[in-house]
Amino acid sequence: MSEVTGKGNLFDSMEGLEIIDDAKSEGEVGISSQEAASVGRRLKKGLRRDSTEEWLGRGSESRRESIHSRGVATLFNREKPDSDLIRTPQVENEENVAEEIDQYGYTIDKKYARLPGGWKVERKKYEELYDYQKEGVKWLYELFQRGKGGILADIMGMGKTIQVCVLLRGLLKGRLASRVLILCEKSLRDTWEKETSQWCGNWHIISLCGYNSASQREKKLKQSWLARNCIIIANQTFIRNDNLPLYSACDENASPMWEESDRVPWDIIVYDEAQRMRNPRTALFQHATIMRAKSKLLLTGTPIQNTPCDLWALMEIAVPGLLGDFAVFKNKFAEVIKRGNRREATELQEKNKDLAVEELNAVIYDYVLRREKYVDEITEGDVSKLEVIVWIGLSEEQLDIYKEYLNTRQVRRACSNNRDGSKGMHVLRCISTLRTLCNHPLFLLPPAEQKWRTAFGISLDALPQNVEKDDLQLSIAKNEDNNDEDDDDDEDVTWIDNDDGAMDNYKHMIRALPQDDGRKIEALSSKLQVLHCLLRRLKENGHRVLLFCPWTSMLDLVQYTILRTDGMSCLRIDGSTPSSDRQRKIRKFQNSKKYFAFVLSTRCGHVGLTLTAADRVVLISPSWNPSDDDQAVARAYRIGQRRDVIAYRLVCSGTIEERIFQREVTKIGDSKVILEDKDQAK
């Protein structure tokens, strides 16, 4: 209802109003002169527009529905006179407009945008939002009003953080909430501090991430709690490691320092990147379910990462009991959907899957909001995204070692039907070795034997000028990135000395490989060769690129054999990068065109970062979890992007990587069949 309702002083007197005859034919709806006079008296007392439907409620249900269907604003529309409506003088300009109701249900006046119940934000702030964000804020507010939680599952890059901040601003303006807890990954702390400061400046915004000890955090939390009107920003792992200080104030087992009067729930708890809580067996999930709040809001672009059971876990946090017992849910929904999505599924299994999906959608409809069709709205101009799968054959050396490894006792043991409970461990070890071979066989050498690192002359004094020194420090103690404080560590690597000790031939083959020449090292990996050609072409054409890989060792080789050799300036973030340095590097990349590439480990660089200065993304190795790769691409394809984005996925054909990619596709299909139903994607 976007039409204007009349001048601000329209009802100062009832003179000039033309009252329609009370006589109506059967089925017509109108307003009697007595009712019109009543309206004038009530509006004269200063009642807001929200009261209009209140007096309409005195009438019959048919009258209320009929008038509401046309839009209350049409009651004062002179341009299309109707025999059963009040006619008023035409409004001359917007300056005289008292208020109007827009298509999303917000009451808009000269200063504020309001929702029923007291929520309001400044009109100027409201108009900064995209249309779908206005819808999202209202949806979140309605959950809060009902005392319910929910999952805001918009795809990555659509501004979920902004929608929450606008919600909080309106709650503060309306004095509807005073205590808010935001749990996020440590790498996103700066983002939340920045956005809450911008949108919710009148709140007391306290970050517990800057305090080193649990006692310091608990003391600060106590002070903030007593102050009211506070937003607490904390790392997700605090609720797992701090003896539960973040909800001791509202738990029966509260710490002695909390007074009985303080044991009240939070108004809102926001769980950012909530997919991390999808495992019901983890302490993170269990503590999240214990915490109490009027409304628990979960933010994630990937509510289903592996199976529909992920959705059960998140809904159990947001709306406990909605999807019933886990075992029942698994049998009734998860397994049925999984069987129906198989390539060899029977007609009956597909039918049962459709019924299960339909029922599940009906249950979660009011509590999960996911939008994808607004992607074009969030980018600048006609910006598109294209994903290209680059199939790569192994190099001659890689292929020989790969085949040799498949004939080892280690692989035969993994493929056997042993019942000692160790088969799973052997299988994972073999898969890890095969994945490593697809990147580079030298990574299987123990750190002490990786002479290529020394051959590159790695030292702080000899670093190239086009790369920051701290971006080329290498952790030679281990081949994986295990340093990140948010557990976004690198994939595990099984070195050749870590198996049963048998001197299989493939080990001799690896140890015989050259390590003293960068070009020879590059030639051992088909991925490095393809990547080198690709990066040269992208640089020549003026593009900037994000490079993602689960292995920091592969990132090391990319930097030394390609970027440094060709003089391609770069920045880097991995698990060893301090949180304080991450935002600094992001700002440098966004604001300076001198950096051609941003090198990131997949698990620490794939969430929450805005890197729209790049328009090309390269995924060097596929992840087990498809959402990790999707999140990585979303670092570039998000709000503020002005150029078309192309993502290149490098996959070694005929290897374990191809199987992993196929599993990615299957997992994505399981997610889409539930979350992207045409009626669910609002």
CATH node for 379-675: 3.40.50.300
The amino acid occupying position 13 is: S
Helix (H, G, I), strand (E, B) or coil at 413: helix
Q: How much is the average pLDDT of 510-525?
A: 86
pLDDT above 70 (res 494): no
Q: Find the mean pLDDT for residues 268-290.
A: 91
Domain limits of the chain? 1-101, 146-307, 323-366, 379-675
Say if CB 274 and CB 151 are below 8 A apart.
yes
542 torsion bin: left (phi>0), alpha (psi -120 to 50), beta (else): left
Would you say the CATH fold of 379-675 matches that of 146-307?
Answer: yes
Q: Report pLDDT for 455.
A: 67
* Comparison of pLDDT for 35 and 521, the residue scoring more: 521
Q: What is the pLDDT of residues 635-674, one digit of tens each?
A: 998 888 889 999 999 999 999 999 999 888 877 877 777 8
Question: Given this model, what pLDDT does residue 147 score?
Answer: 94
Q: What pLDDT score does 366 carry?
A: 95
Question: How does residue 224 score in pLDDT terms, banded at 50, 70 and 90?
Answer: low
Rounded to 5 degrees, φ, ψ at 139 are -60, -45
Token reading at 141: 């507010």
Residue 179 has pLDDT above 70, yes or no: yes
Q: 20-46: per-residue pLDDT in tens?
A: 333 333 333 444 444 444 444 443 344
- pLDDT cut 70: percent of the chain above it: 68
Residue 283 has pLDDT above 80, yes or no: yes
Least confident of 51-55, 220-224, 438-442: 51-55
Average pLDDT over residues 541-556: 92
Distance, CA of 200 to CA of 231 (rounded, Å) = 9
What is the model's pLDDT at position 211?
Answer: 63
pLDDT at 51 (0 to 100): 36
- Count of CB atoms situated within 10 Å of the CB of 135: 19
Calculate the alpha carbon distances from 86 to 52, 67, 490, 616, 664 in Å.
14, 12, 69, 59, 61
What's the rounded Cα separation, in Å, for the pair 138 and 131? 11
Distance CA 480, CA 490 (A): 5
pLDDT band at 229 (very low <50, low <70, confident <90, very high): confident
Range in 147-156, 198-207, 434-443 the model is least confident about = 198-207
Q: Residue 319 has which token pair?
A: 């709306």
What gap in Å lies between CA 32 and CA 21, rounded to an integer?
A: 7
Residue 111 clears pLDDT 50, i.e. is over it: yes
What's residue 391's pLDDT?
Answer: 96
Q: Are 481 and 576 in contact (CB under 8 A)?
A: yes
626 or 122: which leads in pLDDT? 122
347-406 per-position pLDDT tens digit: 999 999 999 999 999 999 999 999 875 555 555 557 889 999 999 999 999 999 999 999
pLDDT (0 to 100) of residue 227? 65
202-206, 253-257, 335-339: least confident range: 253-257
Q: What percent of the chain has pLDDT over 90?
A: 38
Worst-scoring range by mean pLDDT, 120-129, 215-224, 283-292, 326-335? 215-224
- Per-residue model confidence (pLDDT) at position 519: 86
Question: Which DSSP letter does residue 545 get?
Answer: E
Q: Which pLDDT score is estimated for 608? A: 67
Phi, psi of 604 (to 5 degrees): -105, -10
Q: Of 328, 223, 593, which Cα lies nearest the Cα of 336?
A: 328
pLDDT for res 68: 37
Q: In what order do the strands lie in the sheet with 385-392?
A: 385-392, 645-652, 616-619, 545-549, 597-601, 570-573
Q: Measured between alpha carbons, how far is 576 from 140 in angstroms, rounded to an integer?
A: 36
For the domain spanning 146-307, the CATH number is 3.40.50.10810
pLDDT of residue 139 exceeding 90: yes
Is the predicted pLDDT of residue 63 greater than 70, yes or no?
no
DSSP 559: I
Please give the mean pLDDT across all residues of the chain: 75
Query: Is pLDDT above 80 for 612?
Result: yes
Which pLDDT value is given to residue 175? 92
Ranking 226-230, 586-590, 675-679 by mean pLDDT, the lowest is 675-679
In DSSP terms, which residues pair with 269 in a beta bridge? Answer: 181, 296
Band the pLDDT of 60: cuts 50, 70, 90: very low
Give one DSSP letter per residue of 158-183, joined into a string: S-HHHHHHHHHHHHHHTT---EEEEE
Please list, in sequence order, all residues whose beta carbon lies within 8 angstroms of the beta carbon of residue 504, skipping any fewer than 6 positions away: 404, 405, 408, 409, 410
Q: How many residues does the chain have?
A: 682
| HSE toward the beta carbon, residue 481, CA cutoff 13 A | 29
Q: In terms of pLDDT, which residue wins out, 531 or 461?
A: 531
pLDDT of residue 466: 39
CA distances from 185 to 255, 361, 485 (A): 25, 29, 9
Is the pLDDT at 16 greater than 80? The verdict is no
Give the β-pairing of 107-109 and 99-101: antiparallel
Mean pLDDT along residues 137-153? 96
Asked whether the predicted pLDDT for residue 459 surpasses 60, the reply is no
Return the pLDDT at 167.
97
Three-state SS for 275-341 is HHHCCCCCHHHHHHHHCCEEEEEEECCCCCCCCCHHHHHHHHHHCCCCCCCHHHHHHHHHHHHHHHC
**CA of 316: how far to CAs of 144, 196, 264, 310, 496, in Å?**
17, 27, 21, 10, 43
Q: Residue 493 has what pLDDT? A: 55
Q: Residue 157 in contact with residue 402, Cβ under 8 Å?
A: no
What integer is the mean pLDDT of 526-552?
95
Helix axes 656-675, 626-633, angle to 10 degrees: 80
**Using CA atoms in the order 249, 254, 256, 257, what is the torsion angle rounded to 10 degrees?**
-20
